[in-house]
Chain A
């Protein structure tokens, strides 16, 4: 096409700077702006496991690395961490970690139940290796300490940012799988300790009572549309699009006590 930019010598010279990284001990030169995950793909690795959301929240791509001249173990999520020159890295996509089986329907929400499910809690010596290796900066040692003294609410709060990558478990000298314990604690917190959101219960009741059934039917009868096939676009679909555009959503800048105007949410 005629409007393509003219390729000058100047443009040709703009190149990514390449840096050496060592993936499982083997050197690859990769563009310095890549994340570890992109760098591995650049180097020819294909992800089958060890990649998930690529957005820093799923915990699938936990990576450990070291830099020359520094004894510290460094960690990062491969999808979020930009490569550094001469880093030695490997991903740890999976680490065996036992999850206790408990009968959730009969859990009473007591600390004793967590102790029974995970007695290895009491092997913690407060070495803090877990906290140091957490890519989300969760104070793992502190939440373990809180669980040990039965403060499940505090533990739930401290462990809130956990993405269950499992790196804490790889480093634990007490051989715990801390993140599974914290998950049980957060579940207990949600059911027994944290305030319940009443409007959510009301909403569920409204759904169960059939309040929305007709409205949903109405919307569903408007049909479906294939965005690549104009022949599927009907008047009804225009109505659907209209409804979609008119729907009420919480604005990004909503104040804390924002409430929807429509009775769809039954919040009034």
Chain B
């Protein structure tokens, strides 16, 4: 079965490991992720200013492309893209005045009123495949490994686009359970990673990342599981710098959820694009003898 797929820019470069593992895994599960023929950067941030329509052009254009290509759903992997597209879509559905203004401005495009549904891959697996079927498809259950599901901000907030309840989300845990891993509940599961503050206020970003790493380590996590390249940048790539001089913390591996899915489905190691992961993540897999079937 074919599914419309919006990658987002980072997944084509620095987070190719998030994308490749997803495409290969979904193919193994019988779904072809069809990248939109035309797409542009979604903007990566949903503008909160009430009169700032220009920032909606980019995400709405992407939704128009999906609609023009005949998809009633468009699947995304990156938390930021998901959030931006899903919220722009709600605006086009619910706000008649802004919708008309945007359609009028983009007169070279077909009119759009929110016909497409924006779906995060975790929810696609939950709703279209189901946890039982996923469990059946797993060839290498990740038994005995303790995974801390990190939602961050944009997967669950605001509530109207959350992939699950913002107060008590369970979809990530259900995913980890289905691929055979142990779920680590940790208090900072939805604490912001610092996001773009890493540019304007790096100390603040560092502080919040430290809190996440401490919280997951205290809960005895073997690894963090993510769905966002920006979270990965803050928590993964910058981890050495953050824990430097901190003798209470050791490196904590960071995976994209799609990479764990690929490992569990028995896909070869090259599908993981591990060269883009941190050294401690690679070392962790090696130590555990994963991917097992490679």
| A149 surroundings in chain B (CB, below 8 A) | 7-9, 12-13, 41
| B43 surroundings in chain A (CB, below 8 A) | 125-126
B204 within 8 A of A: no
Interface-centre pick from B9, B57, B61 (highest chain A CB count, 10 A): B9
B29 within 8 A of A: no
Q: Is the CB of B40 within 8 A of A142?
A: yes
B55 within 8 A of A: yes
Q: 1/0 per residue B244-259: CB within 8 Å of A?
A: 0000000000000000
Interface-centre pick from A126, A131, A151 (highest chain B CB count, 10 A): A126
| A125 surroundings in chain B (CB, below 8 A) | 43, 54-55, 57-58
A-B pairs under 8 A by CB, number: 43
Nearest Cβ distance between residue B37 and chain A, in whole angstroms?
A: 10
Q: Is the CB of B12 within 8 A of A128?
A: no
| A111 surroundings in chain B (CB, below 8 A) | 13
Nearest Cβ distance between residue B74 and chain A, in whole angstroms?
A: 16
Q: 1/0 per residue B222-234: CB within 8 Å of A?
A: 0000000000000
Q: 1/0 per residue B44-64: CB within 8 Å of A?
A: 000000000011011001000
Q: Which residue of A lies closest to B58 (CB)?
A: A126
| B40 surroundings in chain A (CB, below 8 A) | 124, 126, 141-142, 144-145, 148
Q: Is the CB of B41 within 8 A of A150?
A: no
Nearest Cβ distance between residue A73 and chain B, in whole angstroms?
A: 13
CA distance A132 to B107 in the complex (A): 11
* Contacts A145-B40, A145-B41, A148-B41 given; does A126 touch B57 at CB 8 Å: yes
Binding site for B on A (CB under 8 A): 111, 124-128, 131-132, 141-142, 144-145, 148-151, 173
User: 30 A-B residue contacts at CB 8 Å?
Assistant: A111-B13, A124-B41, A125-B43, A125-B54, A125-B57, A125-B58, A126-B43, A126-B58, A126-B61, A127-B54, A127-B57, A128-B57, A128-B106, A128-B108, A131-B108, A132-B108, A141-B40, A142-B38, A142-B40, A144-B40, A145-B39, A145-B40, A145-B41, A148-B9, A149-B7, A149-B9, A149-B12, A150-B9, A150-B12, A151-B12
In the A-B complex, the 4 residue pairs with the smallest Cβ-Cβ separation, listed nearest first, are: A145-B40, A149-B9, A126-B58, A150-B13
